[in-house]
Structure 1
């Protein structure tokens, strides 16, 4: 029986992972979240399942797999499989509101945020924050579903026109627009709840900052390997531990107004930076494969 199954949707992001597994001779099944499953079926595709479903999958298919995947992973877990970044992780990954609540519960700073599910409540929520602000989809990806507003009139006009962002779960975030110091956000990658590496990302306006895509020809996004302060590393590890995050990235920016480090996003789909040898000088996929091998042994 295959010891590892990888559930994924993006057509190209996982080529480096598959190549690393092949180099190490790790037999694995590559699964797409298509078709159907029987809740009474106790068979699992492998003892260890690695969830790689992206929140941005809704951008590539109107019939996205996000909620179907939550049910499927829970079914496999109940049938006896060990799941990396399973249903509980995916449920937080699929809600920026839950991410922010988790971060704030640890005493860490976040951008001022109001969570709404009715468009008619957006303006009232905005009035408690002030401008400039952004309205975000609760489920987003690659910067999708974010709009900036500089005045109440601008916001009210957009609401009246029906042009606000929409989220596939119907939930929106009204959030203070934080001016990131030097236009930089820091993405701290974790593996098994511990620091793996970090990069400073610039050029995306804190909206479209997908490290897996950022090295494509013509991209305006730049990335630099960094070692964050001990406080930031500790905070990222606390977030990963509280979320029970097996592998994922945590994003933070320094508020240029007061120097506060504000954490604002968790990405359970951490596919690592494109061109890692150029950016980092080493390939984190090898460390990920080491982790997968250890989990395979645990699942035997």
Structure 2
């Protein structure tokens, strides 16, 4: 039996990880979050399971695996498996509202936000923030489910037409539109709750900012390796520790109006950049594999 399994659904994102594992001669099983499981069955597939379920999976299938995978990972953890980015992490990953609450509880700035579950409450929530603003799905992915509004009348027309974004959990965020300084956001990647690397992602008007090259081909979105200010690195590591994030990205932008760093997203799906040697000069998959090997050794 292999000692490592990768639970994933995207057809292409993890080929670089699989190739790196093959180069290192590390055995692993590829698992898909389909089929069924018996909650009375106390077995688990491998001692270590790496969760790679993406929130954007609902874009690829109406019968997405997000909530099924959360229950499955919890079941395997209860049976004794070591889950990398386990069900508690997945639960935070699947709720932007919970992410923002956690970030704010650490004393860090976030965009002004109101959380609603009824379309009838959106306009009233917007009036407490002002315009421009965005309405976004609580469960998004690759920028999905985001609309910008510049006036109350524009927003009310969309509400009345029933054309607001739709979140698969029925929750929406009404959020201040933050003008990102230089038109860029910074994504700080962490591994074992510590800084791994960071990239600036520019273009797209703060929408659809996906850090994977494969997501943005032809989009005009650019990426560059950066070294964030020490206070941003420290903040990202604090967030990662609070989430108990094994591997994942923290996204932040500098508000051009006041220079405040506003953290707005925690992403437990780090598929890294598609051409890391060109973007970073090194391959973060090797560090991830080192981490996985350590977790495997701990289970022996």
TM-score, normalised by the number of residues in structure 1: 0.99
Asked whether the equivalents of residues 214 and 221 of structure 1 are also in contact (C-alpha less than 8 Å), the reply is no
SS of equivalent to 2:204: coil
How many angstroms apart in 2 are the aligned matches of 1:288 and 1:136? 31
- List, as ranges, runs of 4+ consecutive aligned residues in structure 1 with deviation greater than 3 Å: 213-217
**Superposition map of 1:123-272 within 5 A:** 123-213=123-213, 217-272=217-272
Residues 108 and 258 of structure 1: is their aligned pair in 2 closer, same or farther, counting only changes over 3 Å? same
How many angstroms apart in 2 are the aligned matches of 1:219 and 1:275? 16
- Structure 2 unpaired stretches of 5+: none
> What CA RMSD, in Å, does the superposition of the two structures yield over aligned residues?
0.8
Asked whether the equivalents of residues 7 and 31 of structure 1 are also in contact (C-alpha less than 8 Å), the reply is yes
Residues 291 and 95 of structure 1: is their aligned pair in 2 closer, same or farther, counting only changes over 3 Å? same
How many angstroms apart in 2 are the aligned matches of 1:121 and 1:254? 29
- Structure 1 unpaired stretches of 5+: none
How many angstroms apart in 1 are the aligned matches of 2:159 and 2:169? 18
Asked whether the equivalents of residues 210 and 216 of structure 2 are also in contact (C-alpha less than 8 Å), the reply is no
* Alpha-carbon distance, 1:213 to partner: 3.6
Query: Which residue of structure 2 lines up, in the alignment, with residue 39 of structure 1?
Result: 39
SS of equivalent to 1:205: helix
How many angstroms apart in 2 are the aligned matches of 1:50 and 1:73? 10
Query: Which residue of structure 2 lines up, in the alignment, with residue 9 of structure 1?
Result: 9
* Alpha-carbon distance, 1:214 to partner: 5.1
Query: Which residue of structure 2 lines up, in the alignment, with residue 92 of structure 1?
Result: 92
* Alpha-carbon distance, 1:291 to partner: 0.5
SS of equivalent to 2:250: strand
Query: Which residue of structure 1 lines up, in the alignment, with residue 21 of structure 2?
Result: 21
* Alpha-carbon distance, 1:83 to partner: 0.3
* Alpha-carbon distance, 1:120 to partner: 0.4
SS of equivalent to 2:270: coil
TM-score, normalised by the number of residues in structure 2: 0.99
* Alpha-carbon distance, 1:204 to partner: 2.1
